[in-house]
Amino acid sequence: MVPLTLDEIVNKTSDLPSIPEAVLSVVRLSGDANATASKVAGKIAYDQSLTARVLRLANSAYYGLPRKITSLQEAVVMLGMKTVRHLALVASTFPWLNQPRKGYALAPRALWEHSIAVSIGAQLLAARSRKVSGEEAFSAGLLHDLGKVVLSMWMEARLADLVVRCEQEQAPFDQLEREEFGFDHCDVGAYLAQRWNLPEVLEKAIQYHHSPGRCDPPELLVDCVHIADVLAMTLGYGLGGDGLCYTLNTGSMQRLGLEAEDYDWVLADMHPAVAKALDAYVVK
């Protein structure tokens, strides 16, 4: 059988993930210093279904607001623009991150919990390093395994063999994906990010989150997501068929100016923070 190209894999995937254009616009605004509350609210308001989900999240018990929020503008004022951006991205990605992904032996909610864990871990690392935007860290963390959603159906018949090879050869799982397909789930995710016209820095974080050393020139957001991904797997969030088959790139720690004690601090702080986030982002 002739191997499929990356483009063919994406176009032939039946449950291709999607993000509403309103949310993509909001994500693109995250790096805009001139973005205003009204501009963010206005983008989300174009999508009535998304607006309803964001308002449901904003009114959840987790935030404990003194009165019910009835408009996006009010949500931005009460919760802050960054929080509302996060809620919009969470609400739009939950439907496909929450699904089981048999090609990676991921049960329902597993990829969702892993993605939330990486987004929170990346935020904590960004704050610890003071070199990366926490806003971009959250978005990149949530989207980093986007490619698994696409590649999963093509992996189902190959997973068992790849897991055995991973154990026998002690090879990173993404390396085995590249040997099998000619590309890995990182490549697939970056391809989609490019199609969606996401900021280049987010595309790079998706592309190189397992191999930050391949990102030339180095990008600190990539390093943040890479370390957060390792932390999330260490804590057991979303371990699938690829399990712990990835290693920490110490260069990422050095570029972020982090020491071993910083790693341990984030690891200790991450679990309660993720538990709170999972309670907050209950999407219905």
- DSSP per position, 125-149: HHHHHTSS-HHHHHHHHHHTTHHHH
**270 within 8 A of 237, measured Cβ to Cβ:** no
* Of 231 and 242, more confident: 231
pLDDT band, very low/low/confident/very high, at 31 (cuts 50, 70, 90): low
pLDDT digits (tens, 9 = 90+) for 126-143: 999 999 999 899 999 999
CA-angle at 101, arms to 178 and 166, nearest 5°: 40
Range 176-188 average pLDDT: 93
Count CB atoms within 10 A of the CB of residue 191: 21
| Residue 2 pLDDT level (bands cut at 50, 70, 90) | low
Q: What is the pLDDT of residue 82?
A: 84
Q: Looking up tokens 């990422």, which residue turns up?
A: 252
Examine the pLDDT at 1 and tell me if it is beyond 50.
no
Instruction: Give dist(CA 47, CA 28) in Å, integer.
Output: 16
Q: Which two tokens stand for residue 272?
A: 């309660």
- Output the average pLDDT for the chain: 91
pLDDT of residue 80: 86
Cα→Cα distances 21→24, 80, 110, 154, 262, Å: 5, 21, 26, 27, 37
Q: Is the peptide bond before 217 cis (omega within 30 degrees of 0)?
A: yes
| 42 three-state secondary structure | helix
Tens-place pLDDT, residues 33-76: 777 878 888 888 888 888 998 999 999 888 888 899 999 889 98
pLDDT at 262: 95
